[in-house]
Structure 1
């Protein structure tokens, strides 16, 4: 299987992470790249670098205002006397229709949903190449490859059209799906990350040309809290094109596979001809952000189940944080897919 990655994705090295009012090291570490790359190679993946497709495919989903913010905010922030090394918001508007300030502090609050997406000197560059990797994968799938793995890091599924959050800046899976749609495909996004892909839902919520399906820990008491509930089905033209399958905390392999079959039924009913998988490995039972209890062999079963849908599939890396088994879980998943 071909795999896509660009070395400039190493440059994003976030430090700030706050949980329950306490500061911790940020779990979205560059070391994830080394572990995931090794895991993919052990499953037979051969990595190649992406071409530069420009801002156009990214701007197809993200607003120009937001793109300008991400590209310039760290420089502007650094001019503030006593500012931190990373851009971290401390005030947020109560609605997206609020007035747009000129202040760097105000814009940070407008464009960053939480404190889990600190912006440093190289964040924009790394996020840009993470997105370019996903775009390259989409183009190769369109050209005839049946399956590809994209090591997108930083991840993307918590990024809305004009809002970063949850370690995410550009919505890589959404960008890839839109690229495939514009090439004439009918894509379904299948999000199997531990957390609900709230940014992906937000981007496509009023659209009927991309199906979004997410399996995740029930957000009633889990991040991202405000999105991902079963009654959220889309609005307007998108009514019925967004599917959330929240799972009880601690759900293991069998419960997960059962919910996955429900997801496949929706994908078949949509008539998808390609699947973009938001590949989170943080549903693992020992992941640092504990929520579900999928085992290493369970990931092989998930990969095999996806392969049995017999559709061209693009795997775009989302979560999955440092543990002894992270690389093993990716190897298990990809081997499971390839063995079907």
Structure 2
């Protein structure tokens, strides 16, 4: 299985985040990707390719133009306001407030285009996010061109980013961008399965009213876990997309037996949908020692996951999402990919 990764993805290098109501050291750091890449190079999966540059077009198929303009112009606006370092939003247009007219001030724009305070923007954040999206797009092109599978070592991750806002360490929705590109390249139906510990709220919202992309997510119950306001079992799609969204929220502490039952249910839905291509949002934070998550999957369970996914017999694009137990991240990632390769 070929891996796609750009060193440019490391340029986003946050030092802090706001989580649990406190300013803390960032956990979505470049070392996450470096550990995975190093582990891949030690194995039979060792081929790592540099992504192609797909330009703005595929990004604009998923994200709003004004949002992309904001990300592109952010650093100039930030420094013109006399600011430096990392930017955190602190005010949002919640119930009773309005998105229009659009604010002129950078603090208003940060709130307009974000949904949490835990995702710092810096000078190189958008460049790294574009490189990450190009990795996903290149992996999608490999699979569309006949490869059984490919792995996009995406970092920063993407599944919390919606069409017009960022959050959850995510700026561009890599899995959605890859899925839409596959549709545009000729796939009639695409399934996106999100196995991250946290619900892929951004991906769900992007495809929620569509029947050509099936979105499924196995994650911690949002009544107890981030992102809190999306990811419930009753969210099944709307309009043309009714019935094409499936959430499997699990109680905190879920182990492999519980988690794999949800996987089996999701896979049954995928078989019924009969997609041309499968995209896996490969979050690895269901791991039992992940510092910000509370599931109990062991390293060997990721091998089982990969083998199970191979049983679908579909061309598959793996897109890396979360996972913050840095020392174990490479092991768990390679276990998943090797399980798939051997399945």
* 8 Å contact from structure 2 (residues 215, 245) kept in 1: yes
1:308 counterpart = 2:311:
yes
Q: 2: distance between equivalents of 1:48 and 1:207?
A: 32
Match of 1:286 among 289, 306, 311: 289
1:98 Cα shift? 2.3
Please report the TM-score for the alignment, with normalisation by the length of structure 2.
0.96
- Structure 2 counterpart SS, 1:255: helix
Deviations 1:238-282 (A, max 9, x none): 111110000111111111111101001111111212110000000
Q: 1: distance between equivalents of 2:43 and 2:206?
A: 33
- Report the equivalent of 2:64: 63
What are the equivalent positions in structure 2 for 1:1-80 lying under 5 Å apart?
A: 1-45=1-45, 46-80=47-81
- Report the equivalent of 2:271: 268
Instruction: Give the RMSD, CA atoms, in angstroms.
Output: 1.2
Shifted more, 14-23 versus 164-173: the winner is 14-23
* 8 Å contact from structure 1 (residues 16, 115) kept in 2: no
- Report the equivalent of 1:295: 298
* 8 Å contact from structure 1 (residues 288, 323) kept in 2: no
1:84 Cα shift? 4.9
Label 1:141 to 1:218 Cα distance change in 2 as closer, same or farther (>3 A).
same
* 8 Å contact from structure 2 (residues 54, 134) kept in 1: yes
* 8 Å contact from structure 2 (residues 51, 135) kept in 1: yes
Match of 2:142 among 140, 143, 154: 140
- Any unmatched runs of 5+ in structure 1? none
* 8 Å contact from structure 1 (residues 229, 246) kept in 2: yes
Deviations 1:16-47 (A, max 9, x none): 31122211111000011111112223442210
Q: 1: distance between equivalents of 2:202 and 2:319?
A: 15
* 8 Å contact from structure 2 (residues 32, 326) kept in 1: no
Q: 2: distance between equivalents of 1:97 and 1:56?
A: 29
Q: 2: distance between equivalents of 1:44 and 1:315?
A: 17
* 8 Å contact from structure 1 (residues 89, 108) kept in 2: yes
What are the equivalent positions in structure 2 for 1:162-241 lying under 5 Å apart?
A: 162-185=164-187, 186-241=189-244
1:322 Cα shift? 3.3
Please report the TM-score for the alignment, with normalisation by the length of structure 1.
0.97
Q: 2: distance between equivalents of 1:175 and 1:65?
A: 17
Q: 2: distance between equivalents of 1:97 and 1:292?
A: 38
* 8 Å contact from structure 1 (residues 300, 336) kept in 2: yes
